[in-house]
Amino acid sequence: MEPLKKSGNYQGPKGPVVLAILDGIGVGKYEDGDIVRKASTPTLDWLAGNCITTRLKAHGTAVGMPSDADMGNSEIGHNAIGCGRVFAQGASLVNNAIADGSLFNGSVWRELIENVVSHNSRLHFIGLLSNGNVHSHIDHLEAMLAEAKKAGVKIACAHTLLDGRDVPPTSALEYVNRLENFLAALNENGKVDYAIASGGGRMKITMDRYQANWKMVESGWKTHVLGDGRTFENANAAIGCLREENPGVLDQDLPPFVISRNGKPLGPITENDSVIFFNFRGDRAIEMSMAFENEEFNHFDRGPRLNVKYAGMMQYDGDALIPKNYLVDPPGIDRTIGEYLAKAGVKQLAISETQKFGHVTYFFNGNRSGKFDESLETYIEVPSDQVPFEERPWMKAAEITDEVVKAIQGGEHKFIRLNFANGDMVGHTGVTDAVQIAVETVDLCVARLLKAVKKAKGIMIVTADHGNSDDMYQRNKKSNEIVINEETGKPNTKTAHSLNPVPVYICDPSGSAKMRLSDLEDPGISNLTATCLKLLGFEPPGDYKPSLIEVDRY
């Protein structure tokens, strides 16, 4: 890669360039349900009135998703902000691989199928059951099940993780019933036995990330692999019973369940079985992949080592090679801002709490683990609390701010990137009072950062990777009217990301740069990368999305 060139008319500020990503805080379309608008945000209000500002697309084709009906997410958002270009992402890649047949013609699929057919064993699918298109899509599961039948697989088991986070919060039966009907059609001639074998809420079992809570993964292992847990006749009965026992529970928090037949678990994973984790997004699939693949494993007792063939939909960690086998190649993201700055000798700091730590490091660096230069990069992970986010909506924003203020005052790092997870993680709970506290917490922390940046004569960019807290009520898709809960008379809450744009505020409190907004049509969050390089005194690479600002002098 060619090294960065210094700008001819601007050498950067005296202090650092600070990129603050306010996760899940977008610009709402409607006043009702926009908790960002409802919250007291004097700092964001001041930024809007006193700094260069515009709105950025953070969903759909602007971040590599198949269509503009697809929401963005933190993974692809940080990919885009880190690399300055738009790459086809997980959902698009899998769609293409299924459409052109390359997934089924690939060596990994053939190996897993041959293993099952030759041993007359089971093919298992583990993953998130919804059409949210953030971690997975039910279409992909159904396509693989249909192809498995054509290939001669007699027994297949679906281990279904319930969503309620990227889709409406209590919509599980919509997807379970659809899958049950699909399986019934496959089973119609009696030649195959395909069934749902286990399940549970995505925030209760299996889909932990960043090794924050291995108990979740252990619970998933017991449920999916060992068939150990509370049994039900079918998934529909399990969900109905568990909802009745836990009034108000969201799908993502439903306890685990095992489907039994004739008094025995229907689908434990045993010798010579094949297993596919069908999520395409990596962060919440890595730990279960480690449990299946790692020879040495001490996070929980797996029981006797199983001789199974395992693959992920994609490779979730390219540097750590997790998993070793995968069905679809991930996007090849290269030449990120982190790599360019490391080669230019610029010291960088990346910081967040555990929930988003991988986003400001791994995803920001183009799905790459580790650092480009140990001597130039500092990564700080603030351990997240293991309590429900609605019970502690301030999360670790203050502790992150403490560290960043210290770094700004220290003067060592010229580029600082941070993520406040509150707007997204609390937004996913659907508890709007807690979401308001989360947004106001972030606003207070941005005020502290702004003060430190001004004193250090730096520049601050405040933005987001996608929306969430800005759109907290479900709406009728045709009329856009709020959906009212018949029992409570209150709006049904929405826990998924929004399709709204996100703000960007570029603030130079010391006046070191004469800046103006570039004339760009439909800018997106990938334009932030070149913007950061411009403000650091570099000319962005020619194939990066253009900078949001022009700098005339220093």
Residues 6+ apart with CB under 8 A from 47: 53, 446, 450, 462, 505, 507
Short-list 314, 392, 395, 329, CA closest to 356: 395
User: How many other C-beta atoms are found inside a 10 Å radius of the C-beta of residue 1?
Assistant: 9
Residues 76 and 151 in one domain: no
Of 293, 328, 363, which closes a domain? 328
3-state secondary structure 26-50: CCCCCCCCCHHHHCCCHHHHHHHHH
> Is residue 498 among the annotated active site residues?
no
pLDDT of residue 404: 98
Residues 172 and 308 in one domain: yes
Residues 479 and 359 in one domain: yes
Q: What is the mean pLDDT of residues 389-416?
A: 98
Question: What does pLDDT average to over the chain?
Answer: 95
- Tens digits of residue pLDDT in 12-46: 999 999 999 999 999 999 999 999 999 999 999 99
For residue 266, the 8-state DSSP code is S
Whether residue 94 is predicted with pLDDT greater than 70 in this model: the reply is yes
Domain ranges, residue 165: 91-328
- Tens digits of residue pLDDT in 159-178: 999 999 999 999 999 999 99
Residues 212 and 287 in one domain: yes
- Tens digits of residue pLDDT in 212-251: 899 999 999 999 999 999 999 999 999 999 999 999 999 9
Place 343 in a pLDDT band, splitting at 50, 70 and 90.
Answer: very high
Of 328, 356, 391, which closes a domain? 328
**Contact in structure between 474 and 495 (CB atoms under 8 Å):** no
pLDDT of residue 235: 98
Residues 474 and 538 in one domain: yes
Residues 76 and 108 in one domain: no
Residue 274 pairs in a beta bridge with: 123, 309
Residues 6+ apart with CB under 8 A from 32: 473, 482, 491
Short-list 288, 290, 294, 325, CA closest to 310: 325
Catalytic residue among 7, 40, 67, 74: 74
Residues 407 and 501 in one domain: yes
Place 318 in a pLDDT band, splitting at 50, 70 and 90.
Answer: low
Of 294, 311, 328, which closes a domain? 328
Short-list 6, 25, 81, CA closest to 350: 81
Across 140-256, the runs of DSSP E, i.e. the strands, are 155-162, 193-201, 231-232
Q: What is the CATH number of the domain that holds 241?
A: 3.40.1450.10
Task: Please identify which residue in the block is written with the tokens 């800046």.
Answer: 515
Residues 9 and 96 in one domain: no
Give the separation between CA 15 and CA 281, rounded to whole angstroms: 36
Q: What is the mean pLDDT of residues 511-529?
A: 94
Q: What is the CATH number of the domain that holds 506?
A: 3.40.720.10
- Which sign does the torsion angle of CA 220, 226, 230, 233 carry? positive
User: How many other C-beta atoms are found inside a 10 Å radius of the C-beta of residue 448?
Assistant: 16
Place 211 in a pLDDT band, splitting at 50, 70 and 90.
Answer: confident
Short-list 538, 526, 400, 403, CA closest to 463: 526
Residues 128 and 47 in one domain: no
- Tens digits of residue pLDDT in 426-474: 999 999 999 999 999 999 999 999 999 999 999 999 999 999 999 999 9
CA 471 distance to own-chain centroid: 18
**Contact in structure between 416 and 18 (CB atoms under 8 Å):** yes
Residues 361 and 301 in one domain: no
Whether residue 553 is predicted with pLDDT greater than 70 in this model: the reply is no
Give the separation between CA 229 and CA 447, rounded to whole angstroms: 48
Residue 198 pairs in a beta bridge with: 159, 258
Q: What is the mean pLDDT of residues 1-8?
A: 93
Residues 114 and 224 in one domain: yes
- Longest Cα–Cα distance of the chain, Å, equals 78
Q: What are phi and psi of 328, to 5 degrees?
A: -130, 135
Residues 421 and 457 in one domain: yes
Query: What is the SS3 assignment for 414?
Result: coil
**Contact in structure between 272 and 308 (CB atoms under 8 Å):** yes
pLDDT of residue 319: 60
Burial 255-266 (b: 16+ CB within 10 A, else e): bbbbbbeeeebb
Total domain count for the chain?
A: 2
**Contact in structure between 317 and 369 (CB atoms under 8 Å):** yes
**Contact in structure between 175 and 129 (CB atoms under 8 Å):** yes
**Contact in structure between 107 and 97 (CB atoms under 8 Å):** no
Burial bucket for residue 181 (CB in 10 Å: 0-12, 13-18, 19+) = exposed
